[in-house]
């Protein structure tokens, strides 16, 4: 029987739920799994895929909820809400997710960024559990390459109590990013609102400063991994290309925040962009490039597993997620 009347469909669904509750002797709205004490959290947040001979594992670190008002500097709130509605997202706040990458290549384990550690929102801080669920151990990390120094990318490197999370890892950072954030004169002249960010960079890196390896943009920093200048979000913000076996991936870092807003509207500027004009130009340039080259991308703030392709759409672009696969 086909039911075309939405009100009848609602009644039928409700009746089914009541019947199921009766069968299991449960209150309406309570599932058998919930009644048996099954956890209501999701399964571990990791996802593996291949780029040629390189194995990439996306590691989720939860999310932070951000009110929409004031989030985008150069767009009317009504237009932002419309964009959210077009992507079936709530019109009052945005859940900003965090996804780092673990890269296995040539017997080495490399991380790109480290997540929030124990310094993020209550809904973040899932990284270590997911990292271990994926079969990794922090002591086995050989290298960490940082894209930039915002807290949600570096705080997982050193916890609040000073604990170094990755005891055997070489630390690699963009030279331009290091030069900006480790400059005492810039820190002293910075607006009060930025002084905490400068202090946090020093908290994370000062104990290992003499051993930090700085890299220039456009260089192969590790086999199969090349740094790409993507300045604007921060002074030394960097993306990375992974290449192996004729396949490639652009690790977009924070070139875009949530794709529903900033891939579709690449000229919008998030409040986090330190140089909005440069960030917009960088975003368009990279989105144009990966779209033209049909190159797979990985985002930091896209819905998990935060990887897919970019297609041109009107005056902007659209992210097309990869097809999920149970096999690597």
pLDDT digits (tens, 9 = 90+) for 281-325: 999 999 999 999 999 999 999 999 999 999 999 999 999 999 999
Number of domains forming the structure of the chain: 2
Question: Judging by DSSP bridges, how do beta strands 213-215 and 170-174 pair with one another?
Answer: parallel
* Residue 39 pLDDT: 58
Same domain? For 32 and 88 the reply is no
Residue 13 predicted with pLDDT over 60: no
Same domain? For 10 and 106 the reply is no
In a domain, 49, yes or no: yes
In a domain, 176, yes or no: yes
Name which of 174, 159, 144, 142 is nearest 204 in CA terms: 159
Q: How confident is the model at residue 230 (pLDDT cuts 50, 70, 90)?
A: very high
Same domain? For 22 and 111 the reply is no
In a domain, 92, yes or no: yes
Same domain? For 56 and 93 the reply is yes
In a domain, 326, yes or no: no
Overall average pLDDT of the 254-279 stretch: 97
In a domain, 28, yes or no: yes
* Residue 52 pLDDT: 98
* Residue 2 pLDDT: 47
Same domain? For 65 and 75 the reply is yes
* Residue 37 pLDDT: 60
Residue 12 predicted with pLDDT over 60: no
Name which of 88, 159, 131, 95 is nearest 301 in CA terms: 95
Same domain? For 119 and 3 the reply is no
In a domain, 96, yes or no: yes
* Residue 9 pLDDT: 42
CA-CA distances (angstroms) from residue 32 to 17, 19, 138? 12, 13, 37
Residue 25 predicted with pLDDT over 50: no
Check which CATH number belongs to the domain holding 55 and give it: 3.60.15.10
In a domain, 328, yes or no: no
Same domain? For 72 and 220 the reply is yes
Tokens describing residue 86: 């077009």
* Residue 17 pLDDT: 37
How many other CB atoms sit within 10 Å of the CB of residue 95? 16
Name which of 230, 206, 214 is nearest 282 in CA terms: 230
Same domain? For 171 and 215 the reply is yes
Average pLDDT, the chain: 90
- List, in sequence order, every residue forming a beta bridge with 244; answer none if it has no partner: 247
Q: What is the pLDDT of residues 29-79, one digit of tens each?
A: 444 444 456 656 788 899 999 999 999 999 999 999 999 999 999 999 999
Tokens describing residue 257: 């925040």
Provide the terminal-to-terminal Cα distance of the chain, rounded to the nearest Å: 41
DSSP code of 75?
S
Same domain? For 34 and 100 the reply is no
In a domain, 327, yes or no: no
DSSP code of 69?
T
Same domain? For 144 and 191 the reply is yes
Lowest mean pLDDT segment, chosen from 11-20, 92-101, 175-184, 271-280: 11-20
Same domain? For 20 and 143 the reply is no
pTM for the model: 0.88
Q: What is the pLDDT of residues 125-147, one digit of tens each?
A: 999 999 999 999 999 999 999 99
* Residue 36 pLDDT: 57
Q: Which domain holds residue 5?
A: 1-40
Same domain? For 2 and 124 the reply is no
């Amino acid at each position: 029987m086909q039911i075309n009347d939405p009100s009848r469909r609602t009644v039928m669904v409700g009746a089914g739920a009541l019947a199921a509750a009766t069968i299991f002797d449960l209150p309406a709205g309570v599932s058998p799994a919930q009644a048996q004490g099954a956890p209501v959290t999701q399964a571990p947040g990791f996802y593996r895929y291949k780029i040629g001979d390189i194995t990439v594992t996306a590691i989720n670190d939860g999310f932070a909820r951000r009110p929409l008002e004031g989030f985008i500097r150069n767009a009317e709130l009504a237009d932002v809400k419309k964009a959210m509605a077009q992507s079936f997202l709530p019109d009052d706040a945005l859940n900003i997710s965090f996804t780092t990458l673990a890269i296995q290549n040539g017997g080495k384990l490399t991380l790109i960024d480290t997540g929030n550690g124990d310094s993020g929102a209550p809904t973040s801080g899932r990284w270590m559990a997911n990292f271990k669920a994926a079969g990794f151990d922090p002591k086995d990390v050989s290298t960490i390459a940082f894209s930039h120094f915002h807290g949600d990318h570096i705080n997982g490197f050193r916890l609040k109590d000073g604990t170094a999370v990755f005891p055997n890892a070489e630390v690699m950072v963009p030279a331009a990013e290091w030069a900006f954030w480790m400059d005492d004169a810039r820190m002293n002249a910075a607006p009060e609102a930025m002084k905490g960010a400068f202090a946090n960079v020093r908290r994370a890196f000062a104990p290992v400063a003499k051993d930090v390896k700085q890299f220039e943009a456009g260089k192969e920093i590790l086999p199969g991994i090349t740094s790409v200048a993507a300045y604007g979000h921060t002074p030394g913000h960097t993306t990375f290309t992974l290449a192996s076996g004729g396949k490639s991936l652009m690790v977009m870092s924070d070139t875009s925040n949530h794709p529903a807003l900033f891939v579709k509207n690449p000229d919008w500027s998030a409040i986090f962009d330190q140089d909005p004009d440069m960030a917009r130009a960088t975003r368009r340039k990279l989105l144009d490039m990966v779209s033209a080259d049909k190159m797979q991308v990985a985002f930091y703030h896209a819905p998990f597993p935060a990887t897919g392709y970019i297609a041109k759409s009107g005056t902007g672009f659209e992210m097309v997620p990869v097809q999920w696969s149970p096999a690597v």
